[in-house]
Amino acid sequence: MTDSLNDTALNLGEGAARGWALNEDGDLAFVGGGAVLVRGAAAIAQECRLALLLVRGEWFLDVRDGVDYFGRVWVKPPNAEDSSAAFRAALLTVPGVESVRQVQLSLNAAERRLSVTYAATATDGTQMADTVEV
């Protein structure tokens, strides 16, 4: 028996499916009435985005997961090195991430927005980079 989603162009990436694809709003992605699976480097990149957005203590199954926003990021006075280290540590917890080459923070104080730009290498050698607004 085959899964119709696994046999169509609705899948993102190559290799075994790692989860459901999410759209830009963080909701499940649907194409043609069906949910989309995410694979390979696309799955790792999606998991990196989720890791950066998860606030430590937010997930009831393991309150130790996530970025320590209250203890290391949203503190006064701000400490860019400590904040970068917190984001780097979160990225390194993602299965498939071998190393994180860069974490750069950009604060827009007027809009109260923090952007995290990262560059990482997957275990298969794929280079990934993304910017996430937290």
- In a 3-state reduction of DSSP, which class is residue 35? strand
Q: Say if 15 falls within a structural domain.
A: no
CATH number of the CATH domain containing 107: 3.10.450.40
> End-to-end CA distance of the chain, in Å?
41
Domain span holding position 93: 41-133
Specify if 110 maps to a domain: yes
Which amino acid would we find at residue 20?
W
Is 30 domain-assigned?
Answer: no
- Write out pLDDT tens, residues 100-133: 999 999 998 889 899 999 999 999 999 999 999 9
Which own/partner pairs from 108-117 qualify as long-range (CB within 8 Å, at least 24 positions apart)? 114/73, 116/52, 116/87
Instruction: Say how many domains are in the chain.
Output: 1
Q: Has residue 96 been placed in a domain? A: yes
Which residue type, as a one-letter code, is found at position 32? G
In the predicted model, is pLDDT for residue 13 greater than 70? no
What's the pTM? Answer: 0.83
7 within domain boundaries: no
For the chain, state the CA radius of gyration: 16
